[in-house]
Chains A and B, each alone.
Chain A
């Protein structure tokens, strides 16, 4: 399964990566701005807590000379607490921050937003679908007309509207993304349950007088696993793209936090002085969406093979 492997690598890298990389602090805008990938830099931690970073650091008579594109700082040796060297694998951005570190930290946020958003969509979609299929015709009519109405909302327009109006933090963003994507799942679940209800084992369970909590958890849910898992993988890819798009437009993750969409937007503004700024976060989004699509494909083939 390439998809699982890809997702695993991304999750591991984002989860552990920031701990394994050399600590570059908040970056050094005056000495390390827009360094290309693979540049070797020296990091100086000063006794006052600041961090200086530059590809060219030399010592001269008790002074550290830190060279930047426009200015050179000289630091007395006594003020330097620690000196480390590292490679900036994906270069640095305008503010002299390590792109790889920001990419991995942004990935955590993207993954968390997509996972939590899809969980909300999953819970609401399952509940509404099951309730519509088993709760009698009034519940079915009300719930399904609500789904129709919500599907009539132009989704991206709605997301943009909500984000522009409320300037959400990650929590509101998760809620908005989750609550705008459960409708397809609800339809899928309703259809599956309606067809399950014609099967003899379900009819036997109903004739035996099984109450609904037991019906739902013991009879319907186990038989919904395959189609729901496949749809969820697909939806999660869509959520990742939606979050990245909103962050790209400046309406998603706040600019104070790193996010893949936001990094692409920032990188495209200075595309000519640093191609790497926009390229790598874009590749990261692509890799994540492809992994999720492959997982969806694999689940579909599994369910076909067992059918």
Chain B
């Protein structure tokens, strides 16, 4: 088990390098550069050339690539064109907001998704099951950007219960400790609910299907024959095997914890990784694009690894292999 984990960790380095290299080639192949994205008609061609030279964009692609790779190996991700700060600082400033938002979203996804699935299979085809099935199917089909807009329209614009964007109020610096925490949670609510509802719908659909399969299996019949009460059957006997697909979903969700949700962060002006990556892509900010991709790719690989390790914890059968 430990050897497999170590081997997978070692495979992470070439994989992440490959992803970054391909990304570099894609950015190089695209027409235009950072100098062309500066929207100022009075900028003369000479000034644009000077900007290009200033950021090293006039050098050959191979030259740029080697110097970037050399710097990365010493732990230097370069300086962002757009933010005029080291990439590592831009990214480490964007990470905590993303962790907070995506973490709350994931928590809501799991809690709500599992609760809905369990409530649905207590009486399959009963009224609760039907309502939950329709609800989760609808939420599954709703595009998150549209849901976000509707939530803002109803809860911010019409009712005025929650702020529509940003992480803090304008006067947040003058608030005390507890008040600023409340302010933060107040801003967190809508984007987190938006992420959580969409995620919970998929999870509920998935877990419900698995729980129904598990219910039909023989060990459940045996447990029922032993007279184990219904809620205990569901909570203890059926839930554990039904958690297997959830673990896979969790592995897929981990990268979002680090990379952030571009759509939700953009709509709610949440200063996280998704927004930074979006801005970087639009401004052709090569060091920042590469930095964000490096971290995103590492997160995907680590997420898969964590899912596999968790799988072994939940399902003893998978430990025997290899």
Number of interface residues of A (CB under 8 A): 39
Minimum CB distance partner of A286 in chain B: B141
Cα of A237 to Cα of B284 in the assembled complex, Å: 30
Give the residues in chain B near A149, CB-CB below 8 Å: 15, 18-19
Are B140 and A153 in contact (CB-based, < 8 A)? no
Contact of A157 among B16, B141, B149, B292 (CB under 8 A): B292
Are A161 and B26 in contact (CB-based, < 8 A)? yes
Encode contact with A along B273-317: 1 for CB under 8 Å, 0 otherwise.
000011001101000010011001101110000000000000000
Residue pairs across A and B with CB atoms within 8 Å: the count is: 116
Instruction: Say whether A268 faces chain B, with CB atoms less than 8 Å apart.
Output: yes
Instruction: Say whether B142 faces chain A, with CB atoms less than 8 Å apart.
Output: yes
Are A249 and B263 in contact (CB-based, < 8 A)? yes
Cα of A245 to Cα of B289 in the assembled complex, Å: 20
Are A272 and B145 in contact (CB-based, < 8 A)? no
Instruction: Say whether B153 faces chain A, with CB atoms less than 8 Å apart.
Output: yes
Instruction: Say whether A248 faces chain B, with CB atoms less than 8 Å apart.
Output: yes
Instruction: Say whether A53 faces chain B, with CB atoms less than 8 Å apart.
Output: no
Task: List residues of B (134-152) whose CB comes within 8 Å of A's CBs.
Answer: 137-138, 140-146, 149-150
Contact of B27 among A154, A165, A261 (CB under 8 A): A165
Task: List residues of B (11-56) whose CB comes within 8 Å of A's CBs.
Answer: 15-16, 18-19, 22-23, 26-27, 29-31
Are B149 and A271 in contact (CB-based, < 8 A)? yes
Q: Give the interface residue-count category, chain B.
A: 35 or more
Are A153 and B19 in contact (CB-based, < 8 A)? yes
Instruction: Say whether B179 faces chain A, with CB atoms less than 8 Å apart.
Output: no
Cα of A241 to Cα of B259 in the assembled complex, Å: 19
Are A249 and B141 in contact (CB-based, < 8 A)? no
Encode contact with B along A86-127: 1 for CB under 8 Å, 0 otherwise.
000000000000000000000000000000000000000000
Are A293 and B140 in contact (CB-based, < 8 A)? yes
Give the residues in chain B near A285, CB-CB below 8 Å: 141-143, 146
Are A148 and B15 in contact (CB-based, < 8 A)? yes
The interface centre, meaning the residue of B145, B255, B296, B299 with most chain A CB atoms within 10 A of its CB, is B145
The distance from the CB of B130 to the nearest CB of chain A, in whole angstroms, is: 13
Contact of A271 among B29, B145, B153, B297 (CB under 8 A): B153
Are B15 and A164 in contact (CB-based, < 8 A)? no
Task: List residues of A (276-307) whose CB comes within 8 Å of B's CBs.
Answer: 278-279, 281-282, 285-290, 293-294
Are B138 and A286 in contact (CB-based, < 8 A)? yes
Encode contact with B along A148-166: 1 for CB under 8 Å, 0 otherwise.
1101111011001110111
Instruction: Say whether B262 faces chain A, with CB atoms less than 8 Å apart.
Output: yes
Task: List residues of A (21-44) whose CB comes within 8 Å of B's CBs.
Answer: none
Instruction: Say whether A52 faces chain B, with CB atoms less than 8 Å apart.
Output: no
The distance from the CB of B198 to the nearest CB of chain A, in whole angstroms, is: 10
If the complex has contacts A264-B143, A293-B137, are A272 and B301 also in contact, measured as CB distance less than 8 A?
no
Interface residues of B (CB under 8 A from A): 15-16, 18-19, 22-23, 26-27, 29-31, 137-138, 140-146, 149-150, 153, 157, 255, 259, 262-263, 266, 277-278, 281-282, 284, 289, 292-293, 296-297, 299-301
25 A-B residue pairs with CB within 8 Å: A151-B300, A152-B16, A152-B297, A153-B293, A153-B300, A154-B296, A154-B297, A156-B262, A160-B277, A165-B27, A165-B29, A165-B30, A165-B31, A249-B262, A249-B266, A249-B278, A261-B143, A282-B143, A285-B143, A286-B138, A286-B143, A286-B146, A287-B141, A289-B140, A293-B140
With contacts A157-B296, A244-B145 known, what are 11 further pairs, Cβ within 8 A? Answer: A151-B300, A153-B296, A160-B281, A164-B281, A241-B143, A248-B143, A248-B263, A249-B263, A282-B149, A287-B141, A293-B141
